[in-house]
Amino acid sequence: MLRPRLWNIKYNPLLIQHFGKRTKAIAFADDLLIAVRAENVQEAENFVNMEINKITNWAKENKINFHEQKSKVMLATKGKEEK
């Protein structure tokens, strides 16, 4: 586990990557959340895959490994409004 200052030095550059306008990167402690807004599941999957490729390339360039086993994907949708 990295100390907070070292984490900031290593990971802050990841948070300022050029993500898409529908993407928000959020870090908390040593966790990273990539939130993507899309019109449907297929579009969300496409956006997420593009952003994961950016993160993967960044990690390779910076010799950082992420644990795929600990990575999770969650789909959150707005419920239809009842009239």
Query: 9-50, pLDDT tens digit by residue?
Result: 777 888 888 888 999 988 877 788 889 999 998 999 999 999
Enumerate the H helices of 1-83 as residue ranges.
4-15, 41-61
Band (pLDDT 50/70/90 cuts) for residue 64 is: confident
Of 51, 53, 43, 41, nearest in space to 20 by CA: 51
Please say whether the beta carbons of 10 and 4 come within 8 A: no
Residue 37 sits at the vertex; the CA angle it makes with 57 and 34, to the nearest 5 degrees, is 40
Whole-structure pTM value? 0.75
